[in-house]
């Protein structure tokens, strides 16, 4: 991928897309094409086709998606399935029509069966039922990676897929109703610390295990894959290490300096018991994460909540 190559980053205002733009610029790429959702609705087939015909990008990072945590996925099921199918169908097909040299589709570790053996290998896809709370999002992402495989099989398109684990970092969503577990915990404990609240409630039992990757590491991995990986199969992107939600809660508490009590509300859902990715394929491709979780959480907290709290 030459430094003057025209690169389209779909979803550049999101956490992942903005990290991709930062990483590309850092590496010296300067011909980056972006559009806001107001400028280009990726659910609009005609508009997307027109954009690709006009701009003719050589490389595409497909990071645009409708995303959210357990609550949002479970409540807005139709939106998560429809919007994500529309976005990825339009971008992938337009990339084929305009002969894009290479496309990287970003999925999610939630594509794997709820009770998949751990750590999760790429070949475990479609071997069992999905976690019900985020099934619509997972189904859309499965369809996206299979669409990339299908265009490769039928037309020889160099479309690859990456499946990241749980992400955090700059630009994350801290809304308590719609965010993922780590940003939600950061906001909860920050506000409890600021108000000297005696207790913080955490959803679930605290026993599920989760893996977390800094979004800047994901962006670095995506650039590495775009440069060095041309395989048909999706590639897991993560750290290969996990911790319990209880351990994560304690890490967040200690980072913020909260002194009150923690109460686990066991009436709330836990989600998948464990979700650790096998990242051996990515390691074989020559990439490993750099940002350790305690260091990453500390940096994210300082950026998002200090010196001023979020609105």
CA distances to 109, 134, 208, 265 from 199, in Å: 32, 29, 21, 12
**239 Cβ neighbours under 8 A, 6+ residues apart:** 165, 211, 212, 213, 217, 279, 289, 293
Q: How many CB atoms lie within 10 A of CB 97?
A: 12
Binding annotation: 11-17, 106-109, 141, 164-167, 180, 188, 203, 210, 270
Q: What is the DSSP string of 236-270?
A: EES-S--EEHHHHHHHHHHHHT--SEEEEETTS--
Active-site residue flag, 112: no
What's the CA gap between 296 and 244, in Å, rounded? 17
CA angle centred on 48, ends 46 and 54, rounded to 5°: 100
Please check whether residue 211 is in contact with residue 182, taking contact to mean a CB–CB distance below 8 angstroms: no
Q: What is the DSSP string of 80-98?
A: HHHHHHHHHHHHHHHHHHT
Q: Tell me the HSE value of 64 on the side-chain side, using a 13 A CA sphere.
A: 26
CA distances to 43, 73, 103, 234, 267 from 172, in Å: 23, 17, 24, 25, 27
Q: How many CB atoms lie within 10 A of CB 95?
A: 27
Catalytic residue among 59, 137, 168, 289: 137
Q: Which residues are catalytic?
A: 137
């Amino acid at each position: 991928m030459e430094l003057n190559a025209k690169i389209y980053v779909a979803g550049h205002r999101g956490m992942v897309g903005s990290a991709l733009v930062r990483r590309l610029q850092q590496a010296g790429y300067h011909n980056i094409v972006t559009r806001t959702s107001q400028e280009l609705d990726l659910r609009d087939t005609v508009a997307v086709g027109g954009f690709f015909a006009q701009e003719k990008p050589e490389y595409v990072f497909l990071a645009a998606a409708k995303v959210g945590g357990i609550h949002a996925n479970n409540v807005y099921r139709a939106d998560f399935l429809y919007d994500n199918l529309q976005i990825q169908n339009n971008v992938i097909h337009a990339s084929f029509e305009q002969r894009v040299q290479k496309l990287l589709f970003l999925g999610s570790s939630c594509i794997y069966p709820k009770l998949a053996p751990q750590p999760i290998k790429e070949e475990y896809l479609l071997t069992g039922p999905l976690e019900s709370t985020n099934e619509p999002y997972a189904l859309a992402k499965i369809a996206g990676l299979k669409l990339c495989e299908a265009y490769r099989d039928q037309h020889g398109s160099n479309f690859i897929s990456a499946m990241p684990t749980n992400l955090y970092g700059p630009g994350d969503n801290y809304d308590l109703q719609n965010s993922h577990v780590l940003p939600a915990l950061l906001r909860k404990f920050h506000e409890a610390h600021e108000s000297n609240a005696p207790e913080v409630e955490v959803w679930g039992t605290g026993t599920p295990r989760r893996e977390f990757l800094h979004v800047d590491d994901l962006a670095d991995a995506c650039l590495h894959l775009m440069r060095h990986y041309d395989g048909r199969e999706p590639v897991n992107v993560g750290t290969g290490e996990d911790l319990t939600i209880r351990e994560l809660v304690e890490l967040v508490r200690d980072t913020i300096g909260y002194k009150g009590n923690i109460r686990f509300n066991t009436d709330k859902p836990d989600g998948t018991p464990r979700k650790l990715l096998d990242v051996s394929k990515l390691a074989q491709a020559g990439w490993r994460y750099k940002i350790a979780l305690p260091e990453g959480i500390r940096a994210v907290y300082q950026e998002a909540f200090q010196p001023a709290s979020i609105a």
